[in-house]
Amino acid sequence: MRIYLSRPDITDAEIQAVTDVLRSPNLSLGPKLPEFEAAFAEYIGANYAVAVNSGTSALFLCMLAMGIGAGDEVITTPFTFVATATSIMMAGAKPVFVDIDPETLNIDPAGIEAAITEKTKAILPVEIFGNPAGFDKICQVARKHNLPVIEDSCEALGSALNGKKVGTFGAMSTFAFYPNKQITTGEGGMILTNDENLADICTSLRNQGRGKGGAWLSHERLGYNYRLSDINCALGIVQLSRIEEIKAKRRQVAQYYQQILAGDERLIVPSEAEGCDVSWFVFVVRLAEKYSRQRRDNILQTMREAGIQVSNYFSPVHLQPFIAERFGCSEGDFPITESVSERTIALPFYNNLKEDEVAIVCDALRGALDNNPPAA
Ligand SMILES: *Cc1c(COP(=O)(O)O)cnc(C)c1O
């Protein structure tokens, strides 16, 4: 590959912080864990933060803390990373999918109401690609029906809507720190809430069901080992301290793409909607409606052959075979999600991607478009 889809941005400060932990006796459950949690809670503006070993674990523990389990339904989007839906399934509950708004690509607030049943226990929306558009309306619907929102903010650290930070919309919210996210801990996740009881349950669940201040071998509930080590937390503390720099670098890369690709009628290029402060996670362009999935896949293939790593974020979750089979989903169930999914191209996107590299990517994309006209 000449140009990668994603690259972490690790400076000497991160390396120093990790090395310091390695020279200390506290590799796990040491001082870096509460330090990372406190810094994160402060940055988001939530009372409690609970660090865990992945974003998926964070989502799953939210389900358990909310008491969601067998026989319950959680309303969510099919246009997301699979962990959004599987976290619901891990808890034994059923994901009920609602199609997306074609503008925001987030769950359509209007569709949520029709999907609510007696069994609905929560709504799990996602700020897809970092974009919080529509979250005010989603929360309005939730409030009207007295349903809690669990916010999958795993793609949107640093985004805000009308001045309100992502991660503060839900009764609980989750973040993720895989190396392609805005900040990384290698692997890691975070749960945010203002509710002390929910935070305590999550803290217990991530640590073998141990109670607050209880003995090491005293276990109050069925728990897990979803702890995040101090090595990871030290990395996260430095990464989080750089969030404004990281946001600015990513915005710059997004602007390079927007400038070069502007006006090309074959493409829908992402931009920030009114009221949205987007912390860019990925840069996903869409082919115009007239393009088929086959044409899109040819374009992906052509770009890969040119040494440019691209992806098809996201393949609809309801059509993943094990989910389709279990819940009886089929093609045509969520037409907007399916239509959008067939035409997306995630372009290389990371902090230190240079302007001339963006130009190379755009040249390759245009070349591939020239050679793959939409079917007449
Ligand atoms: C990254 C991500 C997650 C969690 O991912 P992990 O790899 O488990 O940290 C969850 N939901 C969405 C939408 C994501 O993008």
Q: What is the pLDDT of residues 109-147, one digit of tens each?
A: 999 999 999 999 999 999 999 999 999 999 999 999 999
In the structure, what pLDDT confidence band is assigned to residue 51 with cuts at 50, 70 and 90?
very high
In the structure, what pLDDT confidence band is assigned to residue 277 with cuts at 50, 70 and 90?
very high
Over residues 287-316, the mean pLDDT reads: 96
Q: Is 176 in the pocket of ligand 1 (CB under 6 A)?
A: yes
Q: Which of helix, strand or coil describes residue 161?
A: strand
Q: Is 154 in the pocket of ligand 1 (CB under 6 A)?
A: yes
Over residues 311-315, the mean pLDDT reads: 96
Cα–Cα distance measured from residue 59 to residue 258, given in angstroms and rounded to the nearest whole number = 33
C-beta atoms surrounding 147 within 10 Å:
18
Nearest to 172 by CA among 201, 155, 148: 148
Cα–Cα distance measured from residue 169 to residue 127, given in angstroms and rounded to the nearest whole number = 11
Distance 214 CA to ligand 1 centre (A): 31
Q: Which positions are annotated as active-site residues?
A: 181
Q: Which of helix, strand or coil describes residue 107?
A: strand
- Contact at 8 Å (CB) between 362 and 261? yes
pLDDT at 376: 61
Q: Is 6 in the pocket of ligand 1 (CB under 6 A)?
A: no
Specify the ligand 1 atom closest to the Cα of 177: 9
- Contact at 8 Å (CB) between 374 and 290? yes
Cα–Cα distance measured from residue 140 to residue 153, given in angstroms and rounded to the nearest whole number = 18
Does the reported pTM lie above 0.85? yes
In the predicted model, is pLDDT for residue 331 greater than 80? yes
Cα–Cα distance measured from residue 371 to residue 129, given in angstroms and rounded to the nearest whole number = 28
- Domains of the chain: residue spans and CATH: 12-241 (3.40.640.10), 243-371 (3.90.1150.10)
Distance 176 CA to ligand 1 centre (A): 6
pLDDT at 213: 85
Share of the chain above pLDDT 70, in %: 100
Our CA angle for 300, 306, 312, nearest 5°, is 20
Distance 24 CA to ligand 1 centre (A): 30
Nearest to 280 by CA among 356, 353, 354, 181: 181
